[in-house]
Amino acid sequence: MSALLEIRALHKQFRGLTALDDVSFDVAQGELLGLIGPNGAGKSVLINVVSGVYAASAGTVWLRGTDVTSLPTYQLARRGIARTYQNIRLFARMSVLENVLVADQRYSARPFRTLFAGGRREDCAAAEVLLERVGLAAKRDALAGTLAYGEARRLEIARALAGRPRLLFLDEPAAGMNELESEELAAVIRSFRAELDVIVLIEHDVALIRELSDRLVVMDSGKVIAVGKPAEVLADPRVIEAYLGAEEADG
């Protein structure tokens, strides 16, 4: 079986710094892949390269057997790649509902046609369903800039899903959340699983990642150091060392 997303020998160089060093792994149809590693391991850089925010220095990203490495960001989005951001990046001056509406790709692909169609009587139903599912229906008319932290994170997910993507990359969606909020988030992610081909989840919350992931990829210093089932990978001495530092692992 060929993988849906294949990452092959990906390199990313920022001047002197090697952010991604020969990164290769596959993600299969239907999989929820956890991507973990210490800060600065290159997880976010990897998402940025795959979603077209950064250009790869070398290597290839295959999506359903097509080389998508050098496609511009908007075309990757139209091929079904959606993402959230580690530092929340909502459109603060738009309402919650508008943040979701703007991501509807039926319109963004043909911007000038919207002048005469769907102006005043917009189809908000789909957007409202999405808001309902992430628990933000009551906030639909609030400005996105006024949302609380956990709400903003969930709105980012709703906005990412509004384009009907097939692949969703979540960059530390539970960062800064309390236990209750992360449990709600886990429920939200689980509820969308069946509608997506692939979810890639970057997360530091080990409990959350163990609970949600089918498989883990562990990165450290730009390299993939372990791939496998969560239980096995989290018991791997190299992974423990990367997370806790060499001395503690020795002692």
Partner 1 sequence: MIQDYVMQTGINILLAWSVYIILLSGSLSFANGGFMAIGAYVSAVLTVKFGIPLILAAALAGAAAFLFGIVVAYPALRTRGLYLILVTVGITASIKVMIESIDYVGGIQGFTGMSGASPWHVVTLVLVVGAALWLISHSRLQRMLDAVREDELVAASLGINVVHLKVACFGAGAFIAAVAGSFYAHYLLFVRPEDFGILPSVFIVLYVVLGGMNNLWGPPVGATIMTLVPEFTRGLAQWRPTVFGILIVLLLLVRPDGLLPFRVPTERRLRNRPNNP
Structure tokens at 170: 């979540």
Q: Which residues contact 37 (CB under 8 A, 6 or more apart)?
A: 43, 218, 219, 220, 225, 242
Residues near partner 1 (CB under 8 A): 51-53, 72-74, 76-78, 82-83, 85, 89, 91-95, 97-98, 101-105, 107-109, 111-112, 114-116, 118-125, 128, 141, 159, 162-163
Residue 101, judged by CB atoms within 10 A of its CB (0-12, 13-18, 19+), counts as buried
Tell me how far, at minimum, the Cβ of 38 lies from partner 1, in Å: 26
Q: Taking the mean position of all CA atoms in its chain, how far away is CA 103?
A: 15
What are the start-end ranges of the E strands in the chain? 5-14, 17-27, 31-36, 58-63, 66-67, 81-83, 167-171, 198-202, 215-220, 223-228
Residue 228 C-beta: closest distance to partner 1, Å: 30
Nearer of residues 92 and 206 to partner 1, judged by Cβ: 92
Q: How far apart are CA 26 and CA 22, in angstroms?
A: 13
Q: List the structure tokens of 92.
A: 């603060």
Task: Considering the complex, state which of residue 22 and residue 128 has its C-beta at the smaller distance from partner 1.
Answer: 128
Residue placing its CB nearer to partner 1 in the complex, 83 or 153: 83
Q: What minimum distance in Å lies between the beta carbon of 161 and partner 1?
A: 11
Q: By C-beta, is 122 or 197 nearer to partner 1?
A: 122
**Cβ distance to partner 1 smaller for residue 155 or 233:** 155
To partner 1, the closest distance from the beta carbon of 92 in angstroms equals 7
Min dist CB 117 to partner 1, Å, is: 8
Cβ of residue 112: shortest distance to partner 1, in angstroms? 7
Q: H/E element holding 249?
A: helix 246-250
Residue placing its CB nearer to partner 1 in the complex, 55 or 206: 55
